């Protein structure tokens, strides 16, 4: 089978594979025995076939002999249940016993393959945190306390940050502190938020341990680990992890729905932001259906290629899939692959091979970086974690959905936007949209104020600027941290019940949230007012000049339609418009990468219909033109124009 695999890889243009990710039990059948023969054969065959290997450290899933001998490596849930073997990733991020055995495997692998000609990169573990990001064991409790000592220094500082005067929670000794395990009611909010921060850091610490060992043994082999920037995977702060690895790699899977390809674009765009605009590696996505959704929808003709090329547009210089060959047995046997159960004589494998050929024609794109868009959308893990905690004005708020709605609205207008984080150089964008930027420490408030004073145009939304880094509310009226900048003051939130909505005087509709806004500055303009509901007649959308820029506030959830209607007014001060011909706006997503080989304008057809895209200059690197030479995008097609780099 392996010889056939390599032959088919050559046919499909495959030149890199990840190998051995879940192979610990095969490589080390018992604590004292090793079996590398099969892996030697695989690497040899791949190298002969001209295929490079992103070799896994194989530590993603501990073997039964380890968990039988050391059940203390098994994670514990908030309710005290043990996560037993039988699936995968059943290990505690802070377990010293697990780490000792894992690093022994890493060292053994690295020593054996350090000079292997097939080795092109190291793949640490797999999707760190996918199933084990929150562990509530005694190991986690011990590590959490150490993390807290490091963060706060003294118990007084911790008690103050956690507001432990409330509900008689004051700690008089570090040993009393626990992870937020199942409690009689809602655990302390800052304890919860710090536990999220700690849990992301604990996995980052584990990542560093494997990475440092690999760098000691193979200093010239780049190290990566596959992130999961997708959907509601929110446990790991990847913006914080990105500098720990030599190149960012990401896994993405489509969640079928009305915004599913917008979400793919959003995630790929954010991955590029996390990677600082530099190219990254799509480690995994699917050729067709996955196996872990309620209904696992097959991809339609053209979607394998379009999904792949949409990632490339946003900076992916590798397009890899989970998995090469569909398994006959095991937990994911119904998950699609490059070679399906039906074998190579299949439409799916032919589509894979066609993609391989297409990627070869895009070789000049490799290495090019993201060309900054005029608009940036800020994505902030702290705000995501804090804004969705319990005991809030509403449990219906979804941080990432609000950001995605803004993104979809900009796609609807044919306007490029870059996903950025609070670590990015925000000044690269004339407009900065910060949806539900809930956690705004004093220094971030200063940064945003300076950004507008220097000519930037900030747009933020409801429930932004409400708390500081300790989840303490900025007092004096919402949005405390941004109140003066925005020239408004809110005394009380007005969340809406599910199914309720309010009308605004620009004929858009608000759901989820309203604010009772008082304008506090003479130069604050009211762009839109509520027309119905408790705030009828009062401001809904405001904008205030700030230095050479402006600061705008949207106090309700407008959804994609409402935001698409409002955005032209919000973008007007910055003069931001679509670069697309009018007939392509909304149907086509424009994305730009730029490098020594040129400026590459990707045009992604978001629709199932053919779309003409006239009037754009450049060499057609990929795509079709009509008789008149104008570009025509077929249904779900992607075109790439190469323009001069300068």
Q: Nearer Cβ to ligand GLA, position 198 or 266?
A: 266
Q: Nearer Cβ to ligand GLA, position 284 or 402?
A: 284
Q: Shortest gap between Cβ of 117 and ligand GLA (angstroms)?
A: 26
Residue nearest to ligand GLA (CB): 251
The CA distance from 409 to 26, in Å, is 49
- The strand pair at 280-284 and 249-251 is best described as parallel
Q: Shortest gap between Cβ of 284 and ligand GLA (angstroms)?
A: 5
In the residue annotation, 354 being an active-site residue is answered as: no
550 near 543, Cβ under 8 Å? yes
Q: Kindly state whether residue 251 participates in binding ligand GLA, applying the rule CB under 6 A.
A: yes
Q: Shortest gap between Cβ of 126 and ligand GLA (angstroms)?
A: 5
Q: Shortest gap between Cβ of 74 and ligand GLA (angstroms)?
A: 20
Q: What is the dihedral of CA 485, 490, 491, 493, to 10 degrees?
A: -140
Q: Shortest gap between Cβ of 228 and ligand GLA (angstroms)?
A: 7
Short-list 565, 561, 519, CA closest to 540: 519
Q: Kindly state whether residue 335 participates in binding ligand GLA, applying the rule CB under 6 A.
A: yes
Q: Shortest gap between Cβ of 330 and ligand GLA (angstroms)?
A: 10
> Which two structure tokens, joined as six digits, stand for 10?
């050559």
Q: Shortest gap between Cβ of 178 and ligand GLA (angstroms)?
A: 31
Short-list 30, 52, 200, 214, CA closest to 117: 52
**Interacting residue with ligand GLA among 290, 309, 459, 571 (CB under 6 A):** 290
491 near 476, Cβ under 8 Å? no
Q: Which of 4, 11, 111, 284 is catalytic?
A: 284
Q: Kindly state whether residue 616 participates in binding ligand GLA, applying the rule CB under 6 A.
A: no
CA atoms within 13 A on the CB side of 416: 21
Please, is 390 exposed, middle or buried when counting C-beta atoms within 10 Å of its C-beta (0-12, 13-18, 19+)?
A: exposed
> Which two structure tokens, joined as six digits, stand for 488?
């408004």
CA atoms within 13 A on the CB side of 339: 19
Q: Nearer Cβ to ligand GLA, position 332 or 484?
A: 332
In the residue annotation, 492 being an active-site residue is answered as: no
**Interacting residue with ligand GLA among 24, 321, 322, 407 (CB under 6 A):** 322
Q: Shortest gap between Cβ of 320 and ligand GLA (angstroms)?
A: 11
Using CB under 6 A, which residues numbered 161 to 200 contact ligand GLA? none
Q: Nearer Cβ to ligand GLA, position 288 or 542?
A: 288
C-alpha Rg value of the chain to the nearest Å? 26
Q: Nearer Cβ to ligand GLA, position 54 or 284?
A: 284
**Interacting residue with ligand GLA among 139, 194, 284, 402 (CB under 6 A):** 284
Q: Kindly state whether residue 515 participates in binding ligand GLA, applying the rule CB under 6 A.
A: no
345 near 361, Cβ under 8 Å? no
**Sheet with 119-123: strands ordered across:** 16-19, 52-56, 119-123, 223-224
Q: Nearer Cβ to ligand GLA, position 231 or 455?
A: 231
Q: Nearer Cβ to ligand GLA, position 56 or 140?
A: 56
Residues 89, 95, 99: CA angle, nearest 5 degrees: 80
Q: Nearer Cβ to ligand GLA, position 251 or 382?
A: 251
Q: Kindly state whether residue 474 participates in binding ligand GLA, applying the rule CB under 6 A.
A: no
Residue with tokens 């009509």: 626
Q: Kindly state whether residue 332 participates in binding ligand GLA, applying the rule CB under 6 A.
A: yes
- If binding means CB under 6 A, how many residues of this protein chain bind ligand GLA? 9
Q: Is 507 left (phi over 0), alpha (psi -120 to 50) or beta?
A: left
The CA distance from 197 to 218, in Å, is 31
Q: Nearer Cβ to ligand GLA, position 72 or 332?
A: 332
Q: Which of 127, 263, 402, 589 is catalytic?
A: 127
The CA distance from 521 to 489, in Å, is 10
Q: Shortest gap between Cβ of 619 and ligand GLA (angstroms)?
A: 36
Please, is 259 exposed, middle or buried when counting C-beta atoms within 10 Å of its C-beta (0-12, 13-18, 19+)?
A: middle
465 near 481, Cβ under 8 Å? yes
The answer for residues whose C-beta is within 8 angstroms of residue 32's C-beta and 6 or more apart is none
Q: Kindly state whether residue 589 participates in binding ligand GLA, applying the rule CB under 6 A.
A: no
Binding mask 92-131 for ligand GLA (x = CB under 6 A): ----------------------------------xx----
**Interacting residue with ligand GLA among 195, 241, 253, 385 (CB under 6 A):** 253
Q: Is 436 left (phi over 0), alpha (psi -120 to 50) or beta?
A: left
Can you give the binding site for ligand GLA, defined by CB under 6 A? 126-127, 251, 253, 284, 290, 322, 332, 335
Residues annotated catalytic, as ranges: 127, 284
């Amino acid at each position: 089978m392996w010889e056939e695999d390599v032959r088919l890889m050559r046919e499909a243009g495959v030149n890199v594979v990840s190998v051995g990710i879940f192979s610990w039990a095969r490589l080390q059948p018992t604590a004292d025995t090793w079996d590398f023969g099969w892996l030697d054969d695989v690497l040899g065959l791949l190298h002969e076939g001209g295929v490079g290997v992103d070799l896994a450290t194989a530590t993603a899933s501990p073997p039964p002999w380890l968990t039988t001998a050391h059940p203390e490596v098994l994670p514990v849930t908030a309710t005290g249940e043990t996560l037993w073997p039988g699936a995968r990733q059943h290990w505690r991020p802070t377990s010293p016993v697990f780490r000792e055995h894992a690093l022994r495997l890493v060292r053994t692998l690295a020593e054996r393959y350090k000079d292997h000609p097939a080795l092109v990169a190291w793949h640490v573990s797999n999707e760190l945190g996918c199933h084990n990001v929150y562990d509530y064991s005694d190991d986690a409790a011990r590590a959490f306390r150490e993390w807290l000592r490091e963060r706060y220094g003294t118990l007084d500082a911790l008690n103050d940050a956690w507001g432990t005067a409330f509900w008689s929670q004051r700690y008089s000794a570090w040993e009393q502190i626990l992870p937020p395990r199942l409690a009689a009611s809602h655990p302390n909010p800052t304890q919860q938020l710090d536990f999220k921060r700690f849990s992301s850091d604990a996995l980052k610490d584990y990542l560093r341990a494997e990475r440092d060992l690999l760098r000691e043994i193979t200093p010239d082999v780049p190290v990566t680990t596959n992130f999961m920037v997708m959907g509601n995977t929110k446990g790991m702060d990847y913006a914080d992890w990105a500098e720990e690895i030599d190149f960012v790699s990401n896994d993405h899977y489509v969640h079928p729905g009305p915004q599913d390809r917008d979400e793919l674009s959003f995630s790929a765009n954010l991955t590029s932001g996390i990677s600082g605009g530099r190219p990254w590696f799509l480690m995994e996505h699917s050729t067709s259906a996955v196996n872990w959704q309620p209904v696992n929808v097959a991809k339609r003709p053209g979607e394998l290629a379009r999904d792949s090329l949409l990632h490339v547009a946003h900076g992916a210089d590798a397009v890899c899939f989970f998995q090469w060959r569909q398994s006959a047995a095991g937990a994911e046997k119904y998950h699609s692959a490059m070679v399906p159960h039906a074998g190579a004589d299949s439409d799916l494998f032919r589509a894979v091979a066609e993609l391989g050929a297409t990627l070869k024609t895009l070789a000049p794109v490799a290495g090019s970086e993201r060309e900054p868009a005029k608009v940036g959308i800020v994505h902030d893990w702290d705000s995501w974690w804090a804004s969705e905690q319990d005991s809030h004005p509403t449990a219906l708020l979804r941080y990432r959905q609000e950001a995605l709605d803004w993104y979809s609205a900009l796609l609807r207008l044919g306007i490029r936007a870059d996903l950025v984080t609070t670590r990015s150089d925000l000044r690269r964008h004339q407009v900065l949209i910060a949806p539900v930027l809930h956690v705004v420490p004093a220094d971030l408030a200063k940064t945003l104020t300076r950004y507008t004073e220097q000519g930037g145009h900030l747009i933020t939304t409801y429930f932004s600027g409400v708390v500081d880094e300790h989840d303490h509310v900025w007092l004096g009226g919402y949005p405390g941290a941004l109140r003066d900048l925005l020239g408004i003051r809110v005394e009380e939130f007005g969340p809406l019940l599910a199914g309720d909505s309010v009308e605004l005087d620009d004929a858009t509709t608000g759901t989820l949230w309203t604010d009772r806004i008082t304008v506090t500055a003479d130069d604050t303009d009211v762009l839109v007012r509520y027309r119905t509901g408790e705030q009828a007649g009062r401001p809904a959308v405001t904008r205030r000049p700030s230095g050479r820029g402006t600061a705008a506030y949207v106090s309700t959830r407008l959804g994609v339609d409402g935001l698409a209607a409002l955005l032209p007014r919000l973008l007007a001060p910055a003069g931001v418009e679509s670069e697309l011909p009018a007939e392509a706006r909304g149907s086509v997503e424009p994305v730009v990468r730029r490098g020594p080989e040129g400026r590459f304008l990707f045009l992604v057809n978001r629709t199932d219909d053919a779309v003409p895209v006239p009037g754009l200059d450049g060499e057609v690197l990929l795509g079709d033109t009509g008789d008149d030479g104008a570009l025509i995008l077929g249904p779900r097609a992607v075109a790439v124009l190469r323009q001069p780099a300068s």
